[in-house]
């Protein structure tokens, strides 16, 4: 072949062969001469191709160097030699109208236009395209005409691939376009059609891997990965990681990404994974979900692949790792993995130190020293943020270490001094904050107006009056700073009880800087008057403020608060009326002092009148109002007042967990009142809130969760407190956790926890009493006695609770002789027993059936100076019911009013059981109705309803049981029916052959236990299964079983929410046997 086109083909093939084989040949030939010959061949082949391309016009003229340009004679000679065919093939793309149309379509970015230009003329199939145009065309075909993609692209590349300069480059351009369209299936088919061998073509293999990974096709990636050439392995692995990051993680089945990372990690021991691709993967997992991030991070830990520094800052600042101590330690471990345990980048030290500064000062100190030893230098802004974290966490020791380090480098600036000052203030070290002013003077730094204002405040708080006056003089004339300084001084005067000094400062401000006088300054002086009982001067100042037009709502609120503190309710009321008449709208701060005064004096009708007035004025209750009302729930003897106070938590705008004090008061009131429905709602809100409670608040919350039998929630909060936040529980919090465990029956766990922490938290009598209670309820009297002996050995005195619990443990086990001896020892030690102590022995005798001794202890109470209570009476009554001593029970019931006792829900439950066993259902119903009628303020709990329904079923009267259910729902002072009530009734109906009615009740319970605010818990699984069995026995399985929850589930699967009234009539009617 003599044409230049043939010469171009031969040269291109030579270059391609040299490029493909040169690496292998160089590795095989060790001779220097051979290597030089290869280099020379490569250079000559390249020069020939370059020269020919310039001469034939294939290369754009802008890339031609002058000495390589062909002369006119050379160009004419070559054109004559090559002929017409060569000129046509070598024609530039710009001269083809079809090529111009495709280029314009590509430039527009619209794939539809690209495909339209391609389909417009047959000439397009014969047009030479640039790589970018071919790549975009392949993308358009794969997206818009996938059925044509493989055939047309393969045909085009086969025809023009070498005309474009290299067949491999053309194939890669086509493959890349198809992969861009996220069609790895088409790309794989195109690879086979074009005859590409992925085992030897690393670039093609990389593109296929990336496309399959982006689609989440992990199986395809794992199948293709072994075919990736070794020379391309690192780039191919990076392509896989990027594919996962750009879509694969979102669609891949759970656990498959972990398996793929493990496969890549096995090879990463020899060839490291690319850091940027890993960073992209971790960032994508972080953006997707905590679960996906956990999967990726745990896999990286497992395969010992270090975390790229590029994503450390993002992880540290996110909440995905918990943003706590545990998360910081894990992050550090991931960073150090594979780096010989060292860190050399400030980008890594920065987020780690910030986390440790907030959660673990000791570790932060070690890391700062390591950073210094590594010679890593950080910016002033970094150290400023460290000090700010110390301020949040009150980590004074580490803040001072940072400050000393900065002083040693002479880089302490005004901004850093201000941040350090805030650290001292957050730790209430106001005196040391003032010492910084002296240091500033020594180093010649002048405080700004903000710092002067803060220093005056801290000088006042630390009692350094001389310094506060000096700072006030220095800050005079600095605008807002001067006003703030004066206000701090006035507040200090009011706190010291020096009203004259407060007025003197006001007068000085009037004379020296009258322009700075504003309402807050006047209000501060008014507050000094009212808090010190000088209401006459306060009234005069109020008149002055009104005349000058500087009075506002805060002015009147300050006056009201002061007047009520002095007990002048009438004047305070006049002030509130005057506030309204002056056009100032009262707020919650206006009413809160009135509420507080009324609650303190137990004037509860006045409280409800004030609440009504607030509602009329459109004033919402704030956290202070609600905290005051929770005291009503705690103090009120009338249950109606307590219920009304707790109902304030039901208001739509109330979010208890937005304020820690309100949460504490609300939880305490709800636990005391046993309002489990509201308590459960508050705890659900707490679990989804961002509140980080103090150690003391954790104790209260654990107590609430224990009351709800939510042991898992107790452990979650405990672990969050001691492990993630690094807090040490106090005696109260540990006692609450032990009590929650014991109440839930996890006595062994309580003992283990006590043993774990007794070296950190001093054991007290309350903790030991809690363990004694657990041993008593578990029937472990020997362990209770061992605990008693441990207390004696530790020198802890037994108190009333511990003795009563110990006696109860022995009485429950039937060791009544030992229990009596302990009672005598208790009295000999000077600890007087109470009714609870005696009731423990009474319970023991009742359990044994020895009602004579039980009654003797009851009658002997007067000789011990004790008055019988209803709890003790209930024990005796229950013992009579258990042992069928009905006449004695009648006698005791008649004595209840004689002792001045009031029946409780427990009493009524026992009476219902008594009449049920005696086959007197009418008397059982009368016991309930009579109690509600005699005591119009009382309430009955749900257990009474369950007992009444059980009594009906015991007497084989399911119809009366269903009537009892309707009566429970209709009575507003009767709690329930709850899940236990429904369970008792549906199982009873099932056993009595009333299958249809049982199914209706299951559906009703489903509605009540579903929705956003369920009113009952789901039915137990066994109750539903008994109904299912009744349907089978009645031959109604095919007709009605579809209305029951799926097998193995309770009654909470219904989706539609329902209120209490929604099921009001669904179970009405007569019970008919199936």
pLDDT at 476: 56
**What is residue 869's three-state secondary structure?**
coil
Q: What is the average pLDDT across 489-499?
A: 83
Please check the confidence at residue 215 and state whether its pLDDT lies above 90. Answer: no
Mean local confidence (pLDDT), 97-112: 76
Highest mean pLDDT range out of 10-19, 463-472, 489-498? 489-498
Query: What does the pLDDT average to over 1011-1020?
Result: 82
Q: Which of 1042, 726, 761, 720 is nearest to 738 (CA)?
A: 761
Residues 6+ apart with CB under 8 A from 366: none
* pLDDT attached to residue 83: 36
Q: Which of 452-461, 833-842, 1010-1019 has the highest mean pLDDT?
A: 833-842
DSSP 804-834: HHHHHHHHHTT-HHHHHHHHHHHHHTT----
Residue 655 is predicted with a pLDDT of: 92
pLDDT at 74: 43
The band of 86, judged by pLDDT with boundaries at 50, 70 and 90, is: very low
Measured over all CA atoms, what is the biggest interatomic distance in the chain, rounded to whole angstroms? 138
Cα angle, residue 318 at apex, residues 315 and 319 outer, rounded to 5°? 120
Q: Which of 936, 267, 387 lies closest to 241 in space, CA to CA?
A: 267
> How far from chain centre, in Å, is Cα 544?
52
- Cβ count near 324 (within 10 Å): 19
571: pLDDT strictly greater than 70: yes
| Tokens read off for 17 | 């062969």
- Tell me: pLDDT of 785 over 60: yes
The answer to whether 751 and 784 have CB atoms below 8 angstroms apart is no
The answer to whether 822 and 851 are in contact (CB under 8 A) is no
Q: Band of the pLDDT at 310, cuts 50, 70, 90? A: low
Cα(574)–Cα(128) distance, integer angstroms: 95
Taking only the tens place, the pLDDT of each residue in 619-664 is 999 999 999 999 999 888 888 899 999 999 999 999 999 999 999 9
Mean pLDDT of 788-810: 90
**674-680: long-range pairs with CB below 8 Å, 24+:** 674/707, 675/646, 676/707, 676/708, 677/1015, 678/646, 678/649, 678/650, 679/704, 679/707, 679/708, 680/708
Beta bridge partners of 974: 940
Return d(Cα 313, Cα 291) in angstroms, integer.
Answer: 19
3-state secondary structure of 940: strand
Nearest one of 991, 931, 1003 to 961, comparing CA atoms: 991
Task: Report yes or no: 599 and 607 within 8 Å, Cβ to Cβ.
Answer: yes
Average pLDDT over the chain, rounded to an integer: 81
| Sign of torsion over alpha carbons 159, 165, 169, 175 | negative
472 pLDDT more than 90: no
Taking 80 as the threshold, does the pLDDT of residue 544 lie above it?
yes
Q: What tokens were used for 884? A: 């069928």
pLDDT band at 607 (very low <50, low <70, confident <90, very high): very high
pLDDT greater at residue 574 or residue 99: 574
Round to whole Å and give the CA distance between 569 and 577.
12
> What one-character DSSP code corresponds to residue 1056?
S
User: What's the whole-number mean pLDDT along residues 30-57?
Assistant: 55
Mean pLDDT for 849-873 is: 87
Handedness of CA 676, 681, 687, 690 (dihedral sign): negative
Question: Tens digits of per-residue pLDDT, 129-143?
Answer: 777 888 888 888 888
Query: 346-371: per-residue pLDDT in tens?
Result: 666 777 787 777 777 788 888 888 88
Instruction: List pLDDT tens digits, range 219-273.
Output: 888 888 888 888 888 888 888 888 888 887 777 777 778 888 877 877 766 777 7
Under the phi-then-psi rule, with left for phi > 0, alpha for psi from -120 to 50, and beta for the rest, what region is 1071? beta
* Burial classification of residue 1016, based on how many CB atoms lie within 10 Å of its CB (0-12 exposed, 13-18 middle, 19 or more buried): buried
Asked whether residue 1063 carries a pLDDT value surpassing 50, the answer given is no
Determine the Cα–Cα distance for residues 343 and 968; give it in Å rounded to an integer: 69
pLDDT of residue 362: 80
The phi and psi torsions of 257 (rounded to 5 degrees) equal -65, -35
Can you state the percent helix, strand and coil of the chain, rounding each to 5? 75, 0, 25
Q: At 75, is the pLDDT very low, low, confident or very high (cuts 50, 70, 90)?
A: very low
* Separation CA 114–CA 122 (nearest Å): 15
State how far the alpha carbon of 180 is from the alpha carbons of 60, 109, 150, 212, in Å.
Answer: 28, 14, 15, 11
Question: In this predicted structure, what is the pLDDT of residue 1065?
Answer: 37
Q: Which residue has the tokens 């000077």?
A: 830
- pLDDT over threshold 50, residue 340: no
- Cα gap 1054→428, rounded to integer Å: 55
Cβ–Cβ under 8 Å, residues 992 and 958: yes
SS3 of residue 1050 by DSSP: coil
Predicted local confidence at residue 866, as pLDDT: 86
For position 596, what pLDDT does the model report?
94
* Residue with the larger pLDDT of the pair 547 and 18: 547
DSSP H or E stretch at residue 501: helix 499-512
Listing DSSP states for 314-361 in one string gives HHHHSSTT-SSHHHHHHHHHHHHTTTTT----HHHHHHHHHHHHHH-H
pLDDT at 37: 61
Greater pLDDT, 571 or 862? 571
Banded pLDDT at 944 (limits 50, 70, 90): very high
Q: What is the pLDDT of residue 468?
A: 74
Q: Is 854 exposed, middle or buried (0-12, 13-18, 19+ CB in 10 A)?
A: buried
Please give the structure tokens belonging to residue 289: 């979900």
Most confident range, picked from 390-394, 747-751, 1009-1013: 747-751
Share above pLDDT 90 across residues of the chain, in percent, rounded to a whole number? 31
Residues 518-529 pLDDT 10s: 898 999 999 999
Q: Which pLDDT band, with edges at 50, 70 and 90, does 431 fall under?
A: confident
Residue 801 predicted with pLDDT over 70: yes
Q: Report residue 29's pLDDT band, with 50, 70 and 90 as the boundaries.
A: very low
Q: What is the DSSP string of 507-557?
A: HHHHHH-GGG--HHHHHHHHHHHHHTT-HHHHHHHHHHHHHHT---HHHHH
Nearby residues of 52 by Cβ (< 8 Å), 6 or more positions away: 4, 7, 8, 11, 58
């Amino acid at each position: 072949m003599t044409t230049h086109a043939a010469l171009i083909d031969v040269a291109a093939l030579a270059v391609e062969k040299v490029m493909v084989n040169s690496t292998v040949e160089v590795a095989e030939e060790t001779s220097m001469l051979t290597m030089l010959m290869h280099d020379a061949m490569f250079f000559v082949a390249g020069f020939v191709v370059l020269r020919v391309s310039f001469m034939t016009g294939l290369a754009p003229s802008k890339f031609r160097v002058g000495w390589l340009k062909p002369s006119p004679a050379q160009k004419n000679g070559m054109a004559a030699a090559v002929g017409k065919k060569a000129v046509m093939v070598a024609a530039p793309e710009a001269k083809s109208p079809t090529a111009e149309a495709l280029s314009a379509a590509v430039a527009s970015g619209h794939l539809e236009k690209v495909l339209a230009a391609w389909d417009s003329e047959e000439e397009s199939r014969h047009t030479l395209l640039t790589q970018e145009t071919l790549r975009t065309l392949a993308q358009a075909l794969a997206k818009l005409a996938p059925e044509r993609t493989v055939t047309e692209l393969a045909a085009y590349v086969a025809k023009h691939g070498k005309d474009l300069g290299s067949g491999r480059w053309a194939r890669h351009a086509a493959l890349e376009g198809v992969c861009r369209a996220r069609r790895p299936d088409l790309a794989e088919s195109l690879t086979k059609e074009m005859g590409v061998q992925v085992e030897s073509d690393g670039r093609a293999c990389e593109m296929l891997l990336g496309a399959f990974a982006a689609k989440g096709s992990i199986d395809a990636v794992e199948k293709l990965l072994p075919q990736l050439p070794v020379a391309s392995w690192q780039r191919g692995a990076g392509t896989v990681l990027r594919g996962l990051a750009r879509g694969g993680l979102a669609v891949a089945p759970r656990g498959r990404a972990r398996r793929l990372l493990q496969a890549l990690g096995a090879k990463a021991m020899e060839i490291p994974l690319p850091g940027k691709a890993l960073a992209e993967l971790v960032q994508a997992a972080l953006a997707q979900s905590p679960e996906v991030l956990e999967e990726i991070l745990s896999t990286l830990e497992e395969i010992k692949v270090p975390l790229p520094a590029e994503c450390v800052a993002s992880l540290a600042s996110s909440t995905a790792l918990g943003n706590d101590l545990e998360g910081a330690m894990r992050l550090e471990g991931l960073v150090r993995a594979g780096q010989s345990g060292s860190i050399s980048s400030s980008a890594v030290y920065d987020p780690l130190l910030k986390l440790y500064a907030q959660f673990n000062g000791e570790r932060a100190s070690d890391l700062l020293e390591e950073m210094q030893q590594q010679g890593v230098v950080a910016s002033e802004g970094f150290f400023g943020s460290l000090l700010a974290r110390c301020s949040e966490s009150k980590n004074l020791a580490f803040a001072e270490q940072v400050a000393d380090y900065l002083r040693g480098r002479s880089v302490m600036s005004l901004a850093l001094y201000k941040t350090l000052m805030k650290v001292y203030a957050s730790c209430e070290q106001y005196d040391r904050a003032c010492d910084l002013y002296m240091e500033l003077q020594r180093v010649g730094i002048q405080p700004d107006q903000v710092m002067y204002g803060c220093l005056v405040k801290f000088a006042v708080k630390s009692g350094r009056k001389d310094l506060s006056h000096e700072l006030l003089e220095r800050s005079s004339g600095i605008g807002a700073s001067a006003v703030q300084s004066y206000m701090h001084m006035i507040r200090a005067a009011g706190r010291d009880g020096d009203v004259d000094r407060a007025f003197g400062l006001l007068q000085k401000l009037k004379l020296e800087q009258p322009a700075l006088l504003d309402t807050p300054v006047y209000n501060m002086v008014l507050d000094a008057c009212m808090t010190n009982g000088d209401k006459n001067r306060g009234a005069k100042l109020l008149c002055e403020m009104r005349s000058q037009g500087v009075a506002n709502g805060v002015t009147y609120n300050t006056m009201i608060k002061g007047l009520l503190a002095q007990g002048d309710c009438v004047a305070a009321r006049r002030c509130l009326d005057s506030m309204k008449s002056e056009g100032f709208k009262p707020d919650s701060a206006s009413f809160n002092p009135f509420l507080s005064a009324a609650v303190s004096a137990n004037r509860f009708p006045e409280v409800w009148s004030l609440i009504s007035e607030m509602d009329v004025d459109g004033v919402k209750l704030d956290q202070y109002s609600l905290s005051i009302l929770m005291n009503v729930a705690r103090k009120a003897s009338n249950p109606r007042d307590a219920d009304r106070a707790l109902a304030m938590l039901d208001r739509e705008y109330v979010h208890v967990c937005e304020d820690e004090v309100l949460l504490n008061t609300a939880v305490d009131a709800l636990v005391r009142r046993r309002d489990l429905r509201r308590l459960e709602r508050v705890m659900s809100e707490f679990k989804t809130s961002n509140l980080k409670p103090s150690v003391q608040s954790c104790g209260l919350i654990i107590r609430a969760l224990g009351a709800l039998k939510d042991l898992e929630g107790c452990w979650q909060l405990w672990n969050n407190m001691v492990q993630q936040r690094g807090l040490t529980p106090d005696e109260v919090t540990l006692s609450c956790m032990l009590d929650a465990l014991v109440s839930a029956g996890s006595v062994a766990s309580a003992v283990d926890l006590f043993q774990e922490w007794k070296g950190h938290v001093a054991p007290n009598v309350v903790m030991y009493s809690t363990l004694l209670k657990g041993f008593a309820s578990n029937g472990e009297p020997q362990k209770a006695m061992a605990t008693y002996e441990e207390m004696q050995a530790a020198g802890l005195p037994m108190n009333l609770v511990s003795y009563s619990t110990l006696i109860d443990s022995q009485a429950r086990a039937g060791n009544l002789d030992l229990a009596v001896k302990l009672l005598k020892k208790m009295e000999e030690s000077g600890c007087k027993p109470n009714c609870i102590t005696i009731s423990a022995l009474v319970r023991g005798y009742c359990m044994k059936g020895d009602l004579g001794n039980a009654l003797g202890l009851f009658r002997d109470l007067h000789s011990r100076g004790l008055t019988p209570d209803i709890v003790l009476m209930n024990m005796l009554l229950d013992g009579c019911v258990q042992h069928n001593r009905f006449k004695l029970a009648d006698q005791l019931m008649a004595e209840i009013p004689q002792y001045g006792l009031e029946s409780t829900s427990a009493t009524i439950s026992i009476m219902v059981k008594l009449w049920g066993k005696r086959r007197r259902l009418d008397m059982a119903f009368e016991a309930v109705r009579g109690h509600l009628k005699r005591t119009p303020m009382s309430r009955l709990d749900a257990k009474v309803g369950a007992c009444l329904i059980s009594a009906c079923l015991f007497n084989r009267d399911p119809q009366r049981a269903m009537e009892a259910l309707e009566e429970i729902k209709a009575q507003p002072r009767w709690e329930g029916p709850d899940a236990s009530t429904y369970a008792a009734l549906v199982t009873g109906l099932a056993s009595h052959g009333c299958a249809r009615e049982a199914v209706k009740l299951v559906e009703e319970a489903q509605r009540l236990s579903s929705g956003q605010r369920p009113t009952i818990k789901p039915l137990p699984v066994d109750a539903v299964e008994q109904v299912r069995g009744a349907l089978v026995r009645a031959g109604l399985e095919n007709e009605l079983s579809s209305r029951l929850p799926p097998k193995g589930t309770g009654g909470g699967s219904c989706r539609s929410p329902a209120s209490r009234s929604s099921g009001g009539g669904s179970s009405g009617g007569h019970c008919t046997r199936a």
